[in-house]
A and B are shown apart, each in its own frame.
Chain A
Amino acid sequence: MKNMLKLGVAAAALAVATFAGQADARTPLTIYTALENDQLGPIKQAIEAAVPDVEVVWMRDSTGVITARFLAEADNPQADMVVGLAVSSLMMFDERGLLASYAPMGAEALRDAFRDDRDEPTWVGMDAYVGVICFNTAEGAAAGVETPTSWQDLLAPEFEGRIVMPHPASSGTGYLTVAAWLQMMGEEDGWAFMDALHQNMAAYLHSGSAPCVQAARGERMAGIALDMRGVQERAMGAPLEVVVPSEGVGWEMEAAAIVDGTDHMELAQQVMEWLTTLEANLVYQQTYAIVAHPDAQNFPDGYPEGVEAALIDNDFGWMAANRERILAEWTARYEAKAAPR
């Protein structure tokens, strides 16, 4: 009996000791991010290889959630850096003085649009993603629906209850798409278009990937989602067409910044330096078609043609300044109508 007890206590103590003893000499940097899940592993590895003193600790959620969380913690910031978040969100943070200024040396080599060209820059661009339509051709053929080629095509009655799109308050892809419609069509026509689209919408999902994944699995016929998820699902064998609507597509840049007041300023600056290198851009390039460094540009197989030509002339300042107003209007229009049923 006694031996049993002793054995049990010893085993428990050993377990506790093993768990407690996993100390690490590196400095953990808490980095808030909205990068896609499958991108985080390679980027973490590459950062840790380039800056060996750093242990990357991701706090990942969708763009809207990370933005809300960061703003809510403004008085007592939990993050050391923000990496891979929509630049329109970073501009909001900057407006409130939550970001530290830093000019990485490598930024010179990046494309103009991906540089913060003020005297005291706070962010540096990494990559861009585009809001496109993922269309399941197998489901389309079964239902006799042709591949759409424009946003207007999605208003056809055959799509009723068969489209999903990301919720703009949660997802960066959702917000960039809504913002693009409003910029392209003008406020009045933009909202009228969304009113009509709402009639066909099966659900507003809380991720920029999920609509495409659901379309790929045939769970839905079409999903508005970020470009690369469609390319990847197609590569995995889904009967999927990635459509670049003829009117033009919205896009958002993802950028990195240092949080003002971090305890690890020097390490964060080293990470910022690395994030602007060609090497880093080659890592982004594995999962993004459009990246900041011109030499890393390389469209993957299966990437739809004409995306760059279709990109709208996007005003990030407008997106940042109007974010709260647009989301409030969107919520008032569609959440109220979507909730019962």
Chain B
Amino acid sequence: MADLAPAASRAILSRRRGFPVPSENAVAGILVALLCVFLLISIALPLYALLSKSFQNASGEFVGLRNFAAYFANPILVDSLFNSLFIASLSTIIVIPLAFTYAYALTRTCMPAKALFYALALLPLFAPSLMSALSLVYIFGNQGFLRWMLMGNSIYGPIGIVIAQVTYTFPHAVLILVTALGLSDGRLYEVANALGTSKTRIFRTVTLPGAQYGLISATFVVFTLVITDFGIPKVIGGQYNVLATDVYRAVVGQQNFEMGAVVGMILLVPAVIAFGVDRIVNRRQVALLSARAVPYQPGPNRRRDIGFVIYCLVVAVLVAAALGVAVWASFIRYWPYNLSLTTANYNFPRFDPNGWGPYFTSLKLAVLASVIGTTVIFTGAYIIEKTKAFPFARGFAHFLAMMPVAVPGLVLGLGYVFFFNAPWNPLNIFYATLTILVVNTITHFFTVSHITALTALKQIDREFEAVSASLKVPFWNTFRRVTVPICLPSILDIAVYLFINAMTTVSAVIFLYGAQTKLASISIVHMDEAGFIAAAAAMATMIVATSVGVKILHILLDRYVLARFQFWRRK
């Protein structure tokens, strides 16, 4: 937007002076080209660098599959692969039924306080993944208050990883399943009831098939999130090695970039499969709901509703506890010997060389990623969706924009290391700067924002562009005067989404920070590594407080300010 405003005013000026207005196609072409260049540099080339690195030796010669052979010849590393698959499968098997039941309660019952339960389930989205692992140390660690529940087993290992991963991925699954269960044709249920079909049979033949695509999608999302998450096994994995911690050790600890690239490629596999399945599923989903479908309206059923309230209460309390315990622990003076309350753990200079610096760097990153990212993504989506020229280039830009969702943060970060730190690359002056962190964060979360923007834009009738064209108003004026004001709620959604993810992400940036650009989430990893777990919990608390604060601001703004401008939407 900001880069369009001068263009628009220049256009007006030049018209006054009698110069020709720059052609709409030229401007659109330049913008499409810029978007393509940005995405090529920020996603395609880093991935290519990762790919080629995995086929090279340390001195950069092509060695074919030798790195992969070396990987599979090492029993420790192969164990990590099986450990990762085991952890990811188990977490998925646990989280999907939990989330499905929860989402069912939110969409198909008449239980009270649905909004509150929904909000509680989404809470982990506002925290770095490793925060729940920090809580688990206090709950089930060797000095944990519920340690007896593990019956002598150690929390440091697969048990801890799975519990923490379930908490971390739960909201992601709930979000998808609520959408899937929300899309249902009430007529099917009416017919089934009229025919006297039993409840279980309805569930099996109507509800489950209706939600199957959501279930498949959620399964893959959760599996990919778990297998590529780095923070949780780092904190609570003990001696249990997984792929994500192997990458970290190979790259940061041993500077063995080739092996890091091999593991990165392996991590890419489930994510790419998930992406492919999701595309197929989405294509079929469209056919499911016809235009004549009637949304299902659940009727009250006291026993069922009370049962679901109890279930949701238990799950929501557990999820909230997984974060809350860390918050509480961050105020304790010396666990477990001195439980008096203190703010000493927030005195970060005692625990981290950069003190409060990482928190403010994170804030800076979040603001920049949010402002720049929203501008680039929304303008890009507009050009792709609403302009007519250069159909091939626009298609290519859209293809590139859809790529980041298939690339886990850890893998993207690795690609950046190989691409932006290469000696031949003139862009390597940006290595370890805030610029590269901003670009990485925008790219990492590009696809979801892009889809949000496209969805909002598709709702606006193309007539606006047609009318503008016939009135000889250039598209940037339509964009500024019509499109942006109408889409303001979605633009704000994108900005907040980018902000919160920039605050919480760990895995994408762990390889990219420099001496002056350490982030709060990385500082948590470092403080935990040095044993300062209370200070780590304190920094995690700062991140949650900031993200939740921004979200509340967003809700208020949406409800009380934007609502006034969106008044026309109401009938």
> Is there an interface contact between B515 and A71, defined as CB atoms closer than 8 Å?
no
Give B516's nearest chain A residue, CB to CB.
Answer: A57
> Is there an interface contact between A30 and B239, defined as CB atoms closer than 8 Å?
no
Contact with A37, one of B157, B241, B351 (Cβ below 8 angstroms): B351
CB distance from A51 to the nearest CB of B (A): 18
> Is there an interface contact between A41 and B371, defined as CB atoms closer than 8 Å?
no
Q: Does B509 contact A (CB under 8 A)?
A: no
Contact with B368, one of A19, A335, A341 (Cβ below 8 angstroms): A19
Q: Which residues of A contact B355 (CB under 8 A)?
A: 41
Q: In the complex, which of the residues A211, A239, A335, A339 has the most CB atoms of chain B within 10 Å of its own CB atom?
A: A339
Q: Does A238 contact B (CB under 8 A)?
A: yes
Q: In the complex, which of the residues B76, B338, B367 has the most CB atoms of chain A within 10 Å of its own CB atom?
A: B76
Q: Does A228 contact B (CB under 8 A)?
A: no
Given A9-B2, A41-B353, A75-B423, decide whether A218 and B142 contact each other with a Cβ distance below 8 A: yes
Contact with A207, one of B350, B351, B529 (Cβ below 8 angstroms): B529
Contact with A339, one of B80, B336, B353, B529 (Cβ below 8 angstroms): B80
Give A219's nearest chain B residue, CB to CB.
Answer: B142
> Is there an interface contact between A169 and B254, defined as CB atoms closer than 8 Å?
yes
Give A167's nearest chain B residue, CB to CB.
Answer: B253
Q: Which residues of B contact A320 (CB under 8 A)?
A: none
Q: Which of B476-509 contact A (CB under 8 A)?
A: 484-485
B interface footprint on A323-335 (CB within 8 Å = 1, 0 otherwise): 0000000000001
In the complex, which range does the number of interface residues on chain A fall in? 35 or more
Q: What is the interface of chain A mostly: helix, strand, loop, or mixed?
A: mixed
> Is there an interface contact between B254 and A335, defined as CB atoms closer than 8 Å?
no
Given A9-B2, A41-B353, A338-B239, decide whether A210 and B337 contact each other with a Cβ distance below 8 A: no
Give A335's nearest chain B residue, CB to CB.
Answer: B76
Q: Does B335 contact A (CB under 8 A)?
A: yes
> Is there an interface contact between B337 and A206, defined as CB atoms closer than 8 Å?
no
User: How far is B337's CA from A16's CA once the two chains are assembled, in angstroms?
Assistant: 46
Q: Which of B327-348 contact A (CB under 8 A)?
A: 334-338
Q: Does B549 contact A (CB under 8 A)?
A: no
> Is there an interface contact between B423 and A239, defined as CB atoms closer than 8 Å?
no
Contact stretch, chosen from A61-69, A261-269, A272-280: A61-69
> Is there an interface contact between A206 and B529, defined as CB atoms closer than 8 Å?
yes
B interface footprint on A198-215 (CB within 8 Å = 1, 0 otherwise): 000011111101111110
Contact with A336, one of B75, B336, B353 (Cβ below 8 angstroms): B75
> Is there an interface contact between B353 and A60, defined as CB atoms closer than 8 Å?
yes
User: How far is B141's CA from A35's CA once the two chains are assembled, in angstroms?
Assistant: 28
Give B374's nearest chain A residue, CB to CB.
Answer: A12
Given A59-B514, A64-B253, A340-B79, decide whether A237 and B338 contact each other with a Cβ distance below 8 A: yes
> Is there an interface contact between B515 and A339, defined as CB atoms closer than 8 Å?
no
Q: Which residues of B contact A138 (CB under 8 A)?
A: 337
Give 7 CB contacts A-B under 8 Å: A15-B367, A41-B350, A65-B253, A161-B154, A209-B531, A211-B531, A341-B157
- Besides A219-B137, A339-B239, 4 other A-B contacts (C-beta < 8 A): A36-B530, A41-B349, A169-B254, A210-B530
Binding site for B on A (CB under 8 A): 1, 4-5, 9, 12-13, 15-16, 19, 28, 30, 33, 36-38, 40-41, 44, 57-62, 64-65, 68-69, 71-72, 75-76, 78, 138, 161, 169-170, 202-207, 209-214, 217-220, 236-239, 335-336, 338-341
Binding site for A on B (CB under 8 A): 1-2, 75-76, 79-80, 137, 141-143, 154, 156-157, 238-241, 252-255, 334-338, 349-355, 364, 367-368, 371, 423, 432, 484-485, 514-516, 526-527, 529-533, 561, 565
